[in-house]
Amino acid sequence: MEGGVVLLDFWASMFGMRVRIALAEKEIKYEYREQDLRNKSDLLLQMNPVHKKIPVLIHNGKPICESLVQVQYIDEVWHDKAPLLPADPYKRATARFWADFVDKKMYDSGSKIWKTKGEEQEAAKKEFIENLKLLEGELGDNLYFGGEGFGYVDVALVPFYCWFYAYEQCGGFSIEAECPKLIAWVKRCMQKESVAKSLADPEKVYEFVLHLKKAYGIE
């Protein structure tokens, strides 16, 4: 493991996908180790004792935890290829702000869509779409959130796309109908090999969500 890069991850995790995309963008060879989250490995517990969560990036035997921390680490260590954060401090602050927005809002509002029903679910759908519209506003007429080039916010957000189908099926709505510009951006991102190879199959994610609903006893 010394000198090498190892990623402890779970196939359906949007957070893990961020790291996979960053590693692919930088053309870094690494060992992917799928984790069983119901039966956490000794290595996972040893490498992330505080949160006991994936993804965990291990570089030269040392762990780095938290997906956005990992993406920034990758960007800083392998800084000569495919920069993800811009050079200008104000643009960097803006990129960090929107990645943080994705972290604060997307996972929770998305989860509520498949975990609830009735009024609660309607409220969750509304909040989710409002958040996507704010992101659309930030994207504006740019090709990517990073401007001309694919960058940090694109990496932070695009993995959620593979969960959209599951949210739509559970919530009975169309995300593309509400946020066409965002879906156009997704399609642009999916043309990049780093993204296409890192995202999970939406059908498989939906199956997984159905399985989770059963396990949680959610109708």
Helix (H) or strand (E) holding 7, with range, is strand 5-9
What is the Cβ-side half-sphere exposure of residue 195, based on CA atoms within 13 angstroms? 20
Q: Which is nearer to other proteins, 75 or 168 (CB)?
A: 75
Task: Verify binding: residue 30, other proteins, rule CB under 8 A.
Answer: no
Identify which range of 23-31, 66-74, 166-174, 177-185 contacts other proteins by CB under 8 A. Answer: 66-74
Closest alpha carbon to 189 in 167, 218, 160, 219: 160
Please list every residue from 68 through 127 that binds other proteins, using CB under 8 A: 69-70, 72-73, 76-77, 89-90, 92-93, 96-97, 100-101
Please list every residue from 122 through 151 that binds other proteins, using CB under 8 A: 134
Beta bridge partners of 7: 32, 57
Identify which range of 16-24, 65-73, 153-161, 167-175 contacts other proteins by CB under 8 A. Answer: 65-73
Q: Which is nearer to other proteins, 9 or 66 (CB)?
A: 66
CB 35 within 8 A of CB 59: no
Task: Verify binding: residue 45, other proteins, rule CB under 8 A.
Answer: no
CB of 216 to other proteins, least distance (A): 21
CB 70 within 8 A of CB 57: yes
CB 111 within 8 A of CB 128: no
Helix (H) or strand (E) holding 8, with range, is strand 5-9
- Enumerate binding residues for other proteins (CB under 8 A): 50, 59, 62, 64-66, 69-70, 72-73, 76-77, 89-90, 92-93, 96-97, 100-101, 134
